[in-house]
Amino acid sequence: MSQQRRPLVKHIFTADPSAHVFDGKIYIYPSHDLAEDLEHNDNGDEYQMTDYHILSLDSLDAECKDNGEALHMRDVKWVSKQMWAPDAAYKNGKYYLFFPARDKEGLFRIGVAVGDKPEGPFKAEDDYIQGTCTIDPAVFVDDDGRAYMYYGGLWGGQLEKWQNGVYEPDAQEPAAGQPAACSFVAELNDDMKSIKGEPMKVVILDENGKPITADDEDRRFFEASWMHKYNDTYYFSYSTGTTHYIVYATSKSPTGPFTYRGRILEPVVGWTTHHSIVEYQGKWYLFYHDSELSNGKNNQRCVKFTEIKYNEDGTIQTIKPYEE
């Protein structure tokens, strides 16, 4: 029976799925939501996750396997709390788990842990990746072997507080009419544990070549970056946060600038929306989450997937998550 649009696992709460195909299987790197009822606020204080469990599917119809604890906060020296949305990549015979968490000063940083198998266990580096900040890393390894990390998130994710490489606790989002804050993109060095040079800001343009503005909440970047490549075009997708869409923008370069193209996923049950896109056996799938399993509790989410379809011109058909 097809598991599409159903919770992949029900024994734990999972969210923010980053899906990859390794050795012919689908591996899903999600956040592991706690089963605690915590009140929602704009700072994301209800997301108090402490570890990661990697899920895997031998095929689309197979039962989803929970491979157990792959990394716990207690084993990461630099972390104080909140292990949020992770991603993973394979290079040079090793698997790398990238994860955001608050450091001992309360600032979100991106860390990396290394393993020999896609499901872990992973051993964290002693410190976070120098030069990183904020949340939601998505690592894309291009056909030429170069790896890029996209990361950032507003509000609880602190993106708007980073101004020219300095954390400004009182900084606000850009004013209406100004270019919106956007994700960072940094190329990773061959060791996958450090970044090359200074991170750049992703630029998203509208149909007239003008930057998407901060008040354009249906289209501006909020969090949950993802990168995939389809027919030699780079698709940068993300959550619009306050308006709860997953949308995308395309470019002929992995670092942009990108042009806004449309919506991939309409709002789901729960405040957050977060996704990944992966090719498996010649078809493309969207992994995403909603709060159906907990009857709508924002911080108790469940991971699902559904097929996505492209039109001839490369645009993606919008998914209405609760309609067939």
Amino acid at position 80, single letter: S
Among 8, 55, 89, 135, binds ligand FUB (CB under 6 A): 135
> Residue written as tokens 């990238």?
98
CA distance 286 to 275: 7
Q: How many residues bind ligand FUB (CB under 6 A)?
A: 14
Instruction: Determine if 102 is a binding residue for ligand FUB (CB under 6 A).
Output: no
Instruction: Determine if 83 is a binding residue for ligand FUB (CB under 6 A).
Output: no
The answer to whether residue 217 is catalytic is no
The answer to whether the beta carbons of residues 13 and 35 sit under 8 Å apart is: yes
Instruction: Determine if 97 is a binding residue for ligand FUB (CB under 6 A).
Output: no
The answer to whether residue 279 is catalytic is no
Span 44-73, contacts to ligand FUB by CB under 6 A: 44, 47
The answer to whether the beta carbons of residues 202 and 229 sit under 8 Å apart is: no
What's the burial of 225, exposed, middle or buried (CB within 10 Å: 0-12/13-18/19+)?
A: buried
Instruction: Determine if 272 is a binding residue for ligand FUB (CB under 6 A).
Output: yes
> Residue written as tokens 């051993």?
123
Phi and psi torsions of 115, nearest 5°: -140, 165
Instruction: Determine if 31 is a binding residue for ligand FUB (CB under 6 A).
Output: yes
Instruction: Determine if 28 is a binding residue for ligand FUB (CB under 6 A).
Output: no
| Binding-site string for ligand FUB from residue 156 to residue 195, where x marks contact by CB under 6 A and - marks none | ----------------------------------------
Question: 196: which DSSP letter?
Answer: -
By beta-carbon proximity to ligand FUB, the closer residue of 44 and 321 is 44
Please report the sign of the dihedral spanned by the C-alpha atoms of residue 93, residue 18, residue 190, residue 193: negative
Instruction: Determine if 276 is a binding residue for ligand FUB (CB under 6 A).
Output: no
- In this structure, what token pair is assigned to residue 95? 């698997």
Residues that bind ligand FUB (CB under 6 A): 15-16, 31, 44, 47, 84-85, 135-136, 153, 223-224, 272, 274
Q: Which residues are catalytic?
A: 16, 223
